[in-house]
């Protein structure tokens, strides 16, 4: 049975109000319905005795450079993540395909872009038709556990398919004394959420078993509002927080930037009205770094368990963030945008005897690649519905052929209307961003020479061929995946008026959209 294409109107009606926030987005993809026999087509070429144990640790809102070894902020304390990078592999260019909790988490579990799995915002309940990669692992004999934040459907914490053990909570959960769903039974547990989830993980790892295991440890930390445990709160109060150069409200900083970017600095997600002035910027950063301490300690406890129980050479452990976070860059906080700090995440891998210590992987990988990679480790070919590809070859042989570009999509949310729908493409050198449904300038950055994305080159005559190449590629991708035909942008199509308050259309063959 082939994948069925569901009309958008019927789809919105089918999945309910959770997708109402996406009412202004283009037509979504068509991979949501699968062959019901797909799970039976799993092929494993490995002897079961050779299967590796796999641990995947996911954090919330951890941006790529907030780890000690990255030397971004001198008072950050992440000795265990530093150890993973030092004794394992650090993916220097790991990205998400959508910088938002639920869409990213769904992409990790399904190996699909948001327009295909259709968890397009934080309120959408995932379709029951979706297949999660742990279901394949179960089929070949893995014992599986999910412990932590699910966050697809804000009020649904019920056990999901693919997991033998289930410990979760509704929505964002609570930092202290959380309400949990443990294998279908709801309880309240006293303590701090990161410690509690880690204890559940260690307990499950320590069980006697004859099967290989897969653990998905999904933390609430370090989601805003940041709440460190009492033992760490205030630890960095006396430290000085560096402010990014682009945080200042100057004409130079906003030269060439889309109008919505500066407008957002005064909104819920901007530095001049942070969460409606509920916290100041320096305290915001300090509490984040304090909350990060217990998360790093959790990583350390998992690694110590693997080593202390002599299963290190039979186990591969991954650590990843579900999306990045802005800390004042361009006057913004939070995520959603396609700027580097928002879409770029930490990704580490630790497997003594398999991964050479100090391995640095420069190629671009994405969250959609996690499912194919973990399945590849277990000897399972990438299922046909997945958009990602396995990066296991990069761990085996760093110089292998790899993708030269990645795509990004974020869909406008009614609850948080400050950020428009974003489509984009990134190469090793350039990034092109296109905004749907608003008349505003697009963005092109030379990431090699302008890593802080300060100088928008969209109307640079020197870069007109790059604009044409990247926009053509992106618009082809949009047409293939969303059914929308967007004429390629020509340099000079958009110019600002003298007041910088509107956008004038000049020699444009574009149609109004959105």
CB neighbour burial string for 264-298, b if at least 16 within 10 angstroms, e if fewer: bbebbbbbeebeeeebebeebbbbbbbbbbbbbbb
Structure tokens at 242: 């560096």
Q: Which residues pair with 350 in a beta bridge?
A: 317
Of 343, 170, 342, 175, residue with least CA distance to 269: 342
Dihedral over alpha carbons 380, 381, 384, 386 (to 10 degrees): 70
Poorest-pLDDT segment among 45-54, 103-112, 388-397: 45-54
Structure tokens at 309: 């129980």
Over residues 151-170, the pLDDT tens digits come to 987 778 999 999 999 999 99
| pLDDT average, residue stretch 488-508 | 42
Q: Is the pLDDT of residue 12 over 60?
A: no
H runs (alpha helix) in 16-149? 79-87, 101-110, 114-117, 133-139
CA angle 477, 480, 484 (to 5 degrees): 90
Q: Say if residues 4 and 461 touch (Cβ distance below 8 Å).
A: no
Over residues 454-488, the pLDDT tens digits come to 999 999 999 999 999 999 999 999 999 887 777 76
> What is the reported pLDDT for 14?
37
C-alpha span between 282 and 220 (Å, rounded): 22
> What is the reported pLDDT for 48?
57
3-state SS, residue 495: strand
- Could you give phi then psi for residue 332, rounded to 5 degrees? -115, 155
Looking at residue 48, the DSSP 8-state letter turns out to be: G
Domain covering 51-404 in this structure, CATH number: 3.40.720.10
C-alpha span between 81 and 300 (Å, rounded): 8
C-alpha span between 239 and 285 (Å, rounded): 10
Q: Is the pLDDT of residue 225 over 50?
A: yes
**Predicted TM-score (pTM) of this structure:** 0.90
In which order are the strands placed within the sheet that holds 53-59? 185-188, 179-182, 165-169, 143-149, 213-218, 53-59, 315-321, 347-350, 89-91, 359-361
Average pLDDT over the chain, rounded to an integer: 88
Q: Is the pLDDT of residue 504 over 50?
A: no
DSSP one-letter string for 179-228: EEEETTEEEE--SBHHHHHHHHHHHHHTS--SS-EEEEEE--TTPSSP--
Q: Say if residues 454 and 253 touch (Cβ distance below 8 Å).
A: yes
Residue that has been written with the tokens 């893995």 in this structure: 142
| pLDDT average, residue stretch 431-458 | 95
C-alpha span between 307 and 315 (Å, rounded): 10
> What is the reported pLDDT for 49?
56
> What is the reported pLDDT for 239?
98
**How far apart, in Å, do the first and last CA atoms of the chain sit?**
33
Q: Is the pLDDT of residue 6 over 90?
A: no
Q: Is the pLDDT of residue 31 over 80?
A: no
| pLDDT average, residue stretch 325-352 | 97
Query: CB under 8 Å to 20, separation ≥6 — which residues?
Result: 12, 414
> What is the reported pLDDT for 503?
33
| pLDDT average, residue stretch 439-448 | 94
Q: Is the pLDDT of residue 34 over 80?
A: no
Distance of alpha carbon 99 from the chain centroid = 5
> What is the reported pLDDT for 437?
83
Of 193, 199, 202, residue with least CA distance to 220: 193
Residue 210 vs residues 125, 141, 143, 310: alpha-carbon distances, Å: 35, 10, 9, 15
Q: Is the pLDDT of residue 347 over 90?
A: yes
For strand 53-59 and strand 213-218, is the pairing parallel, antiparallel, or unpaired?
parallel
Domain boundaries, the chain: 51-404, 421-505
Of 399, 246, 320, 367, residue with least CA distance to 67: 320
| pLDDT average, residue stretch 322-339 | 97
pLDDT band at residue 36 using 50, 70 and 90 as cut-offs? low
Poorest-pLDDT segment among 48-62, 199-213, 355-369: 48-62
Q: Is the pLDDT of residue 231 over 90?
A: yes
pLDDT band at residue 238 using 50, 70 and 90 as cut-offs? very high
Over residues 252-266, the pLDDT tens digits come to 999 999 999 999 999
Structure tokens at 375: 């399945």
Structure tokens at 48: 């079961």
Q: Say if residues 113 and 97 touch (Cβ distance below 8 Å).
A: yes
Over residues 192-205, the pLDDT tens digits come to 999 999 999 999 99
Q: Say if residues 411 and 421 touch (Cβ distance below 8 Å).
A: yes
> What is the reported pLDDT for 125?
86
Q: Which residue has the higher pLDDT, 124 or 196?
A: 196
Domain covering 421-505 in this structure, CATH number: 3.30.1120
Over residues 73-98, the pLDDT tens digits come to 999 999 999 999 999 999 999 999 99
> What is the reported pLDDT for 485?
79
Share of the chain above pLDDT 70, in %: 85
Give the torsion sign (CA, 135, 140, 142, 143). Answer: positive
pLDDT band at residue 298 using 50, 70 and 90 as cut-offs? very high
């Amino acid at each position: 049975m082939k994948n069925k294409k569901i009309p958008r109107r019927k789809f919105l009606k089918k999945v309910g109000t959770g997708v109402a926030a996406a009412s202004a987005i283009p037509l979504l993809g068509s991979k949501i319905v699968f062959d019901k026999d797909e799970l039976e087509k799993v092929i494993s070429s490995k002897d079961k005795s050779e299967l590796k144990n796999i641990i995947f640790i996911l954090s919330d809102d951890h941006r790529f450079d907030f780890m000690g070894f990255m030397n971004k902020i001198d008072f950050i304390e992440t000795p265990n993540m530093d150890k993973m990078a030092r004794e394992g592999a650090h993916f220097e260019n790991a990205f998400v395909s959508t910088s938002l909790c639920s869409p990213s988490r769904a992409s990790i579990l399904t190996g699909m872009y948001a327009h295909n799995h259709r968890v397009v915002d934080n309120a959408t309940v995932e379709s029951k038709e979706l297949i999660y990669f742990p279901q394949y692992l179960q089929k070949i004999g893995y014992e599986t556990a999910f412990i932590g934040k699910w966050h697809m459907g804000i009020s649904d914490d019920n056990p999901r398919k693919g997991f033998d053990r289930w410990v979760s909570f509704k929505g964002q959960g609570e930092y202290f004394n959380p309400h949990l769903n443990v294998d279908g039974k709801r309880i309240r547990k006293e303590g701090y959420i990161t410690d509690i989830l880690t204890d559940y993980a260690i307990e499950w790892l320590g069980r006697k078993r004859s099967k290989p295991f897969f653990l998905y440890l999904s933390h609430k930390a370090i989601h805003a509002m940041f709440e460190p445990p009492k033992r760490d709160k205030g630890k960095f109060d006396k430290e000085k927080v560096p402010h990014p150069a682009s945080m200042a409200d100057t004409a130079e900083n906003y030269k060439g930037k889309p109008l919505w970017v500066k407008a957002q600095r005064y909104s819920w997600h901007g530095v001049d009205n942070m969460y409606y002035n509920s916290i100041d910027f320096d305290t915001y950063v300090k509490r984040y770094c304090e909350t990060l301490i217990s998360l790093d300690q959790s990583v350390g406890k998992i690694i110590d368990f693997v080593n202390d129980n002599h299963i290190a050479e039979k186990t591969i452990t991954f650590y990843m963030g579900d999306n990045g976070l802005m800390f004042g860059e361009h006057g913004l906080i939070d995520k959603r945008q396609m700027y580097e700090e928002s879409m770029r995440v930490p990704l580490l891998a630790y497997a003594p005897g398999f991964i050479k210590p100090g391995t640095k992987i420069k190629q671009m990988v994405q969250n959609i690649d996690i499912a194919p990679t973990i399945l590849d480790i277990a000897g399972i070919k990438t299922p046909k519905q997945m958009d990602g590809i396995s990066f296991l070859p990069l761990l085996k042989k760093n110089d292998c052929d790899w993708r030269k570009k990645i795509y990004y999509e974020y869909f406008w949310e009614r609850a948080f209307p400050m950020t428009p729908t974003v489509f984009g493409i990134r190469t090793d050198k350039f990034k092109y961003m296109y905004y749907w449904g608003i008349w505003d300038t697009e963005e092109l950055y030379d990431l090699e020479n302008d890593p802080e994305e300060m100088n928008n080159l969209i109307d640079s005559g020197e870069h007109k061929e790059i604009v044409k190449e990247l926009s053509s590629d992106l618009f082809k991708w949009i047409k293939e995946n969303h059914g929308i035909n967007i004429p390629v942008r020509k340099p000079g199509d958009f110019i600002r008026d003298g007041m910088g308050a509107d956008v004038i259309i000049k020699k444009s063959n574009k149609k109004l959209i959105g």
